[in-house]
Amino acid sequence: GQQLNQSPQSMFIQEGEDVSMNCTSSSIFNTWLWYKQDPGEGPVLLIALYKAGELTSNGRLTAQFGITRKDSFLNISASIPSDVGIYFCAGQNNDMRFGAGTRLTVKP
Amino acid sequence: DTEVTQTPKHLVMGMTNKKSLKCEQHMGHRAMYWYKQKAKKPPELMFVYSYEKLSINESVPSRFSPECPNSSLLNLHLHALQPEDSALYLCASSQGQRQNTGELFFGEGSRLTVL
């Protein structure tokens, strides 16, 4: 199947630090997306990537679509307490599959 | 605020009950989805409707029955569920199902507890 391997599983960082997480797959995806989910809420789209090699920013967030179309990373710069949550990568062809998530904790 | 609305937000039901989860979107999207999410796990795809027709069923047990009355509404009918079916059920919609049209917008979910 189209399995996504997301790492790290969890991160504990100090406020102000930068964060990096990534997703890899043995399958090619046409679209890579990054979502954030807060407790009791649905996932919220952060960044969508449509072209291999594409690098896109959204405020303090930067994500890239890997050249091979089998991977993507998300960076968060200068983390703040409200960045806490679970970040999911998702790969899409005719449907969307999610990585296992990265649980981010930010200590003030 | 999400533009995908799910009701109810919480549902507790017995194993012999029949209940339904509802989802509504008014973004003109033509694809709608049901996902199931267990605690500390990613969302798992259950069903996809494209242009009001069921296009993907991920081998979901028949005690879950989806229905798409029109392009704005998606229901999930529940009957004879098991306690292990307790989870957060997420509805999502996208402009289309095909590649590059598929940024999914999620509702806040319906948290289901089966006793």
Q: How far apart are alpha carbons A82 and B54 in whole angstroms?
A: 38
Give the three-state DSSP class for B100: coil
Q: Which amino acid is at B43?
A: P
Q: Considering CB atoms only, which of B48, B97, B100 is closest to A30? A: B100
Q: What is the pLDDT of residue A2?
A: 65
Q: Considering CB atoms only, which of A31, A42, A94 is closest to B90? A: A42
Tell me the pLDDT band of B2, cut-offs 50, 70 and 90. Answer: low
Nearest CA of chain A to the CA of B84: how many Å? 19
Q: What is the pLDDT of residue B101?
A: 54
Q: What is the pLDDT of residue B96?
A: 66
A91 to chain B, any CB pair closer than 8 A? The answer is no
Tell me the pLDDT band of B102, cut-offs 50, 70 and 90. Answer: low
User: Kind of pairing, strands B18-25 and B4-7?
Assistant: antiparallel
Q: What is the pLDDT of residue B98?
A: 56
Contact B2 A43 (CB under 8 A): no
Q: Which two tokens stand for residue B33?
A: 């989805």
Omega cis (within 30) before B61: no
Tell me the pLDDT band of B99, cut-offs 50, 70 and 90. Answer: very low
Residues of chain A with Cβ-Cβ distance to B41 below 8 Å are 100-101
Interface A-B: count of C-beta contacts within 8 A: 62
Q: Write the CA distances from B23 to A34, B19, B55, integer angstroms.
A: 23, 14, 18
Q: What is the pLDDT of residue A96?
A: 84
Residues of chain B with Cβ-Cβ distance to A92 below 8 Å are 99, 102
> What are B16's strand-pairing partners?
none
Q: What is the pLDDT of residue A1?
A: 55
Each residue of B24-80: pLDDT tens digit?
998 999 999 999 999 989 999 999 998 999 988 888 999 999 999 998 999 999 999
Residue B1 has pLDDT above 60, yes or no: no
* Window B:10-49, CB contacts with A under 8 Å: 33, 40-45, 48
Each residue of B79-98: pLDDT tens digit?
999 999 999 999 999 886 55
Q: Write the CA distances from A99 to A5, A16, B44, B108, integer angstroms.
A: 6, 26, 10, 19
Q: Which amino acid is at B69?
A: P
Contact B99 A42 (CB under 8 A): no
Burial A34-58 (b: 16+ CB within 10 A, else e): bbbbeeebbbeebbbbbebebebee
Mean pLDDT per block of 10 residues along chain A (108 residues) reads 88 96 94 93 93 95 96 97 96 87 95
In the block, which residue shows the tokens 């609305």?
B5
Tell me which DSSP letter residue B95 carries: S
